[in-house]
């Protein structure tokens, strides 16, 4: 692992802030359209695909969270912008393509993007334009040649970790689901109770870590002598798709069995598709649902259980 100086890190961060501001990445919608940056990227990939991709391929190419991409595609389907065709080779997969309405919606976005980049370069003399384009090509080539990410390791919590858990839950759920700060307050209460009453023989917090950076977490807490609860599962967007969530859930199940619990339960909400997929794969079964108003949203709470 090559040592990176603080000055280099600061320089890259400074450039990122400058460039994202210049190209408008911080706008809630692009080009005076109703679409976000991620939605425009999905439309672009579908418009330029040589063959209709599956959602799995699209998620991999764009490095998007599966649940986030699923919500985008459902919105496009509801607007008649995308059509799905079942794969002949795998009945669980669907190929995606823009409809005529989808191509009509994308056309002005494509023109606006072209015009915006043209306006960015137009004031500069040709040598300066070529210098910028060359520098961009050099950055792309260097980063594409970078070694693969280091492996993710799981460890027990340490001082400072619980504050990170609270902060990241609040930020991620606000960004991805629009939940308000009452959710962060609830996470803080759960985390504080865990620390205050922590029993290491029957409870655990695992932190997923890569290159010294926390990228995920999960808690297992005692509900009774025979029942444990899985809580606060989270994986950072940059670490998704690598099996981190599956490993965290697996650690909970293995520890619960070793600790002598007979049942593992959890509470989640409908629409958290990526997490629900992990729970289903691990053998959890839905046992109850209830509608509720929480975190600034109308939600459907779901209780899942796993017999150990």
**Nearest partner of 236 among 152, 298, 155, 157, judged by Cα:** 152
Task: Give the bridge partners for 125, in sequence order.
Answer: none
Residue-range domain boundaries for the chain:
6-144, 153-307
Across 35-44, 61-70, 121-130, 255-264, the highest mean pLDDT is recorded for 255-264
Q: Residue 275 in contact with residue 216, Cβ under 8 Å?
A: no
The whole-chain average pLDDT of the chain stands at 88
Backbone phi, psi, residue 131, to 5°: -65, -40
Reported confidence tier of residue 2, pLDDT bands at 50, 70, 90: low
Check whether 1 has a pLDDT greater than 60.
no
- What's 6-144's CATH class? mainly alpha
Q: Greater confidence, 255 or 120?
A: 255
The pLDDT of 291-296, averaged and rounded, is 95
First to last CA, the chain: 41
Residue percentage of the chain with pLDDT more than 90? 50
Indicate the fold that domain 153-307 takes in CATH: Aminopeptidase (3.40.630)
Question: pLDDT at position 148, please?
Answer: 55
Reported confidence tier of residue 211, pLDDT bands at 50, 70, 90: confident
Note the pLDDT tens digit of each residue in 71-107. 999 999 999 999 988 877 666 778 888 999 999 988 9
Check whether 64 has a pLDDT greater than 90.
no
Question: pLDDT at position 287, please?
Answer: 96
Reported confidence tier of residue 142, pLDDT bands at 50, 70, 90: confident
The pLDDT of 38-64, averaged and rounded, is 84
Rounded Cα distance, 122 and 305, in Å: 60
**Nearest partner of 79 among 105, 47, 59, judged by Cα:** 105
> Which residues 6+ apart lie within 8 Å of 308 measured at CB?
253, 256, 257, 261, 262, 263, 264
Rounded Cα distance, 207 and 158, in Å: 9
The pLDDT of 122-134, averaged and rounded, is 84
Question: pLDDT at position 128, please?
Answer: 83
């Amino acid at each position: 692992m090559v040592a990176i100086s603080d000055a280099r890190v600061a320089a890259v961060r400074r450039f990122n802030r400058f460039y994202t501001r210049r190209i408008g990445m911080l706008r809630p919608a692009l080009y005076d359209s109703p679409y976000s940056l991620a939605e425009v990227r999905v439309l672009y990939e579908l418009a330029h695909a040589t063959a209709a991709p599956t959602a799995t391929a699209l998620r991999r190419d764009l490095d998007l969270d599966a649940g986030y991409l699923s919500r985008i595609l459902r919105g496009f389907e509801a607007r008649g912008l995308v059509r799905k065709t079942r794969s002949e080779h795998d009945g669980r997969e669907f190929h995606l393509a823009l409809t005529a309405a989808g191509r009509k919606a994308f056309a002005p976005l494509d023109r606006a993007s072209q015009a915006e980049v043209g306006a960015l370069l137009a004031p500069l003399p040709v040598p300066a334009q070529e210098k910028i384009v060359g520098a961009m090509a050099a950055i792309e080539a260097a980063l594409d040649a970078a070694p693969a990410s280091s492996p993710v390791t799981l460890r027990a919590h340490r001082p400072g970790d619980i504050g990170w858990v609270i902060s990241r839950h609040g930020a991620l759920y606000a960004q991805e689901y629009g939940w308000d700060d009452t959710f962060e307050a609830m996470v803080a209460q759960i985390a504080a109770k865990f620390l205050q009453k922590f029993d290491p023989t029957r409870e655990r917090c695992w932190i997923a870590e890569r290159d010294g950076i926390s990228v995920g977490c999960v808690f297992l807490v005692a509900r009774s002598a025979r029942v444990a609860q899985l809580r606060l599962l989270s994986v950072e967007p940059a670490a998704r798709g690598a099996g981190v969530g599956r490993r965290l859930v697996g650690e909970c199940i293995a520890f619960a069995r070793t600790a002598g619990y007979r049942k593992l339960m959890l509470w989640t909400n409908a629409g958290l598709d990526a997490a629900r997929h992990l729970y289903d794969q691990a053998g959890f079964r839905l046992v109850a649902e209830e509608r509720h108003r929480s975190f600034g949203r109308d939600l459907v709470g779901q209780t899942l259980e796993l017999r150990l």
